[in-house]
Structure 1
Amino acid sequence: MDHYQLAQRIRAFRKLKGYTQTELAEEIGVSIAIIGAIERGTRKADPRLIRRIAEALGVEEEEMTSAPERR
C-alpha cells in the first residue's frame, strides 16, 4: 500500500472514531502538522507512528495498512 492510500485510511478511521486531527495528535503526542501531512500524503509515517495511530484509533495495525480485498 502506498502512503497516499494509507493516508486516506488513517483519515477515514480517524473520522469514524470521531477524532479531530488535533485530538489524534494530542492522543499520540505529535503535532497537528504531522497528522495533517500524513493525511495529505505529503509525509510518510514510520511504522512506530502507524502503530501508535492504530492504537489510538482502536484498530489493528494490519487493518489500517492492508489494502481492502476486492470482490
Structure 2
Amino acid sequence: MDKSRWGKRIKAFRKLKGYTQIQFSDAIGVSLSIVGEVERGQRVPSEAFLERTVETLGIPIAELKPPID
C-alpha cells in the first residue's frame, strides 16, 4: 500500500469538505500529529482511522481508496 497516495486523497477530501487538520483530528478522534503523518505519507492509516474518516467526510470508502496503477 502506498502511504503517500492514501495521505494525498485524505487531505484532498478533508480540504474539499472544509475541515482544517485540527477540526478533522477532533472529528475523527485522533491526534493532530497522526493526521499530519498520514497526510504526509509517513504513516499508513489504520482501519479505524479510515472508517472514521469516511463517516466524518460523508464519502464511500471506494472514493477514498487510491487508484491502482
Same-fold call, TM > 0.5?
A: yes
Specify the code of the residue in structure 2 equivalent to 1:58. Answer: G
Structure 1 equivalent of residue 67 of structure 2: 67
Residue ranges of structure 2 left out of the alignment (5+ in a row): none
Structure 2 equivalent of residue 35 of structure 1: 35
TM-score (norm 2): 0.90
Contact in 1 for aligned 2:6/2:64 (Cα 8 Å): yes
Residue ranges of structure 1 left out of the alignment (5+ in a row): none
TM-score (norm 1): 0.87
Residues 5-55 of structure 1: CA deviation (Å, up to 9, x unaligned): 110000000000000000000001111000000000001111221111111
Aligned-pair identity in percent equals 42
Counterpart Cα distance in 2 of 1:25 and 1:40: 15
Counterpart Cα distance in 2 of 1:40 and 1:66: 15
Instruction: State how many pairs are aligned.
Output: 69
5 Å-filtered alignment, 1:1-71, equals 2-67=2-67
Please provide the CA RMSD for this pair.
1.6
Contact in 1 for aligned 2:9/2:66 (Cα 8 Å): no
